[in-house]
Amino acid sequence: MFGRKVYGLDFGTKELKIYKKGRGLLVSEKNVIAIENKKKILAIGDEAYEMFEKAPDNVEVIFPVKNGVIADINYMEGLFSSFMTRINNSRKPQSADYVVAVPTDITDVEKRAFTDLIMSSVAKVKSIRIVEKPIAAALGARLDIHNAHGVMMVDLGADTTEISVLSLGGIVISKLLPIGGNTLDDSIALLVKKKCGLYIGKKTAEMLKINIGCAYPTEDMNQDIFGRDVVSGLPVNKEVNSMLVYDAMSEYISNIIDSIRIILERTPPEISSDIIDSGIYLTGGCAHIRQLDKLISKQTELSVNICDDSLNTVANGIGRVIEDGSYLKISSDFKKK
């Protein structure tokens, strides 16, 4: 059983969530750290993200999670320690239980990095439990995961898309694709450079994706953006059309839908019939790409639901594990060496 102090953690590629038992979501910020002169922590979270693509040479702005796994354990530990110290009003955190969400389709060594970083941080650890992200997402979407009803969750994140089929509180199949919102942003920036002769930053590309991006072109939209002219090198503003953004995104979106179809083909028939019944559940930030639900529905001939509060579904699911003891068995105990 958990003690009185319990924290739930979702270390996403772009977003970091810290949930505390009885208090709810305490941290929901960008998972970014800014380091000055390779040593000093200059800023964390949203404040560090403000510096992204603007920082001088002696400041590095680092995303320590890449493709859903910890790419830089020291910076992730520094970032986590700083947030834990901040939410404990600059005091050392007291002994607590921790529940951390991890992707399913990664190696044991990659899973271990999530627990190692918590243990080497300022946190005084009583216990650590691991919850697989698709299960946390299903719980966060308030689906009844204990019963035998099969469910398909598609978590469309920043670097990854995790497609999973769940039944009886466990994972039947899961695939982590290296495609997410960042992939789309990079592709948009490349096409804007090629077609408009304009260098743009990742934040501008993301704004184009969110404001005028669509998975299936239905309406014609334009967005004014600032960038640097490829030839003159001068800052200029130009109008970008939604068709260009669609062209940049469509191949990646097709890859995601192809993978959903492959997973559906591999799903045992009894579970498939449940999925036909209840449809596919989309979560993660990119679930909100315009017309994506419609396109997936058209190409799989299944109904598609977008989870409420989809940016927080995993964190809300960990919250349910922490607050309600009956979900303890869906998490696994991590033993310290």
Ligand X SMILES: Nc1ncnc2c1ncn2[C@@H]1O[C@H](COP(=O)(O)OP(=O)(O)OP(=O)(O)O)[C@@H](O)[C@H]1O
Binding site for Mg ion (CB under 5 A): 12, 157
Q: Does 159 bind ligand X (CB under 6 A)?
A: yes
Q: Does 64 bind ligand X (CB under 6 A)?
A: no
Q: Find the shortest distance in angstroms from Cβ 39 to Mg ion.
A: 30
Choose the one of ligand X, Mg ion, none that binds residue 206, judging by a C-beta under 5 to 8 angstroms depending on kind: ligand X
Task: Indicate which single residue of 264, 311, 318, 322 sits in contact with ligand X (rule: CB under 6 A).
Answer: 311
Q: Does 288 bind ligand X (CB under 6 A)?
A: yes
Give dist(CA 253, CA 215) in Å, integer: 7
Task: Indicate which single residue of 64, 68, 227, 319 sits in contact with ligand X (rule: CB under 6 A).
Answer: 68
Q: Does 312 bind ligand X (CB under 6 A)?
A: no
Number of chain positions touching ligand X (CB under 6 A): 21
Q: Does 160 bind ligand X (CB under 6 A)?
A: yes
Give dist(CA 150, CA 1) in Å, integer: 28
- Of residues 99 and 271, the one with the C-beta less far from ligand X: 99
Q: Does 210 bind ligand X (CB under 6 A)?
A: yes
- Of residues 68 and 227, the one with the C-beta less far from ligand X: 68
- Of residues 133 and 290, the one with the C-beta less far from Mg ion: 133
Q: Find the part of the chain contacting ligand X (CB under 6 A) among 113-121, 175-183, 186-194, 327-335.
A: 175-183
* Spatial contact of 304 and 297, defined as CB atoms under 8 Å apart: yes
Contacts 24+ apart (CB under 8 A), 197-200: 197/229, 197/230, 197/231, 198/225, 198/227, 198/228, 198/229, 198/230, 198/236, 198/238, 199/227, 199/228, 199/229, 199/230, 200/225, 200/226, 200/227
Q: Does 8 bind ligand X (CB under 6 A)?
A: no
Q: Find the shortest distance in angstroms from Cβ 297 to ligand X.
A: 18
Q: Find the part of the chain contacting ligand X (CB under 6 A) among 6-14, 134-142, 223-231, 237-245.
A: 6-14
Task: Indicate which single residue of 8, 12, 78, 319 sits in contact with ligand X (rule: CB under 6 A).
Answer: 12
Give dist(CA 166, CA 173) in Å, integer: 7
x/- letters, 99..128, toward ligand X (CB under 6 A): ------------------------------
Q: Find the shortest distance in angstroms from Cβ 161 to ligand X.
A: 8
Choose the one of ligand X, Mg ion, none that binds residue 245, judging by a C-beta under 5 to 8 angstroms depending on kind: none
Question: Which residue in the block uniquely carries the two structure tokens 């996403």?
Answer: 12
End-to-end CA separation in angstroms for the chain: 20
* Spatial contact of 319 and 142, defined as CB atoms under 8 Å apart: no
Q: Does 15 bind ligand X (CB under 6 A)?
A: yes
Give dist(CA 25, CA 260) in Å, integer: 31
- Of residues 12 and 317, the one with the C-beta less far from Mg ion: 12
156, β-bridge pairs: 161
Task: Indicate which single residue of 2, 13, 44, 100 sits in contact with ligand X (rule: CB under 6 A).
Answer: 13
- Residues 115, 119, 123, CA angle at the centre, nearest 5°? 120
Q: Find the part of the chain contacting ligand X (CB under 6 A) among 117-125, 141-149, 179-187, 315-323.
A: 179-187
* Spatial contact of 133 and 315, defined as CB atoms under 8 Å apart: no
* Spatial contact of 122 and 92, defined as CB atoms under 8 Å apart: yes
Binding site for ligand X (CB under 6 A): 12-15, 68, 157-160, 180-182, 206, 209-210, 284-286, 288-289, 311
